[in-house]
Amino acid sequence: MKIRGTFLDEISHDIPHQNWGRKEWDQDFAYMKQAGINSVILIRSGYRKWLTYPSVILMGREGAYQPPVDLVKMFLELSEKYGMDFYFGLYDSGRYWVNGDFRKELDLNKLLVEEVWQAYGQMPAFKGWYISQECSRNTGTIIDMYAGLGEHCKAVSGQLTTLISPYIDGVKNISQYTSETARTSGVSLKKHEKDWGEIFAGIHNAIDIVAFQDGHIEFDELDDFLQVNKQLADKYGIRSWTNSETFDRDMPIKFLPIKWEKLLLKLLAAKRAGMEQAITFEFSHFMSPQSAYLQAGHLYNRYQEYLKELE
């Protein structure tokens, strides 16, 4: 099991920014390429008022701030330079859908998709869409929102690939704003299977790939949950990747690069489950030799040793 893709975390609210310019990003794409990564996924194009590109829609309707750099254009250019596929992450309002107004989140993102496709759709590296609203349960009208977003992305772009990366409501699904690392209980395997059977039944015509995050459950639960995820996705004709997180959820400091032994354990579990490939959240902070975290470069070295062992 190899990591073939990474999220690009340029609009985050809980991980420190590295203040990179084009030179640093160019170098990071080179490091990604050396590690065998062939796909990059923008985690979100905007969050609340912060944007990765000068969206007329979001600056006008949401009062978003005009960014000093068009990161979407830069990422697409670097993706083309290094032969990578780029997936565009949608806008997360941080308020509409989380407060139950799924329809407003959907309608706003439909306008965004049209704006983005007109601005960047002709660029060669643009290969698909990432629906950035993450969920773990069948709550509200999440099915309608996912299906509506996926269908609109496909209709606008000539059926380009759509991707989601949900999470499992496990014992490590806990606020980043506390030093606690776990709670007493998480979702049962049976309930998880029921919820995602219902969700997949409603979205399978709109979503091509699912990459569940692997960090919210205990390590000894991985095999069971990953196998259920794979079986459900297969049933509904959805491709299965795994989002093998490269940050550690077991530390009171949130968030630091993961211990190599833990990442290896997760990759091996994904292999046993029959996952197609791994992606990660995310290379630049937690695995890059030029990360602000010194131990990220050491994780990169351990991963390169692992790749050589697989040759």
pLDDT, tens only, 112-133: 999 999 999 999 999 999 999 9
Provide CB contacts within 8 A for 170, sequence distance 6+. Answer: 186, 187, 216, 217, 218, 221, 225
Beta strand ranges found along 56-113 (DSSP E): 85-89, 91-92
Model pLDDT, residue 216:
87
Residue 11 has pLDDT above 90, yes or no: no
Residue 302 tokens read as 């351990």
Over residues 107-116, the mean pLDDT reads: 98
- Percent of the chain beyond pLDDT 90? 87
d(CA 256, CA 174): 16
Model pLDDT, residue 179:
80
Over residues 293-309, the mean pLDDT reads: 97
Name the DSSP class of 96: T
Name the DSSP class of 253: S
Give one DSSP letter per residue of 134-169, joined into a string.
--SS--TTHHHHHHHHHHHHHHHHTS-EEEE-----
What pTM was estimated for this model as a whole?
Answer: 0.96
C-alpha distances in Å from residue 39, one per residue of 5, 74, 115, 119, 162: 4, 15, 23, 21, 13
- Percent of the chain beyond pLDDT 70? 100
Q: Which CATH superfamily is domain 3-310 in?
A: Glycosidases (3.20.20.80)
Q: What is the pLDDT of residues 24-74, one digit of tens each?
A: 999 999 999 999 999 999 999 999 999 999 999 999 999 999 999 999 999
Q: Taking the domains of the chain in order of start, what are their residue ranges?
A: 3-310
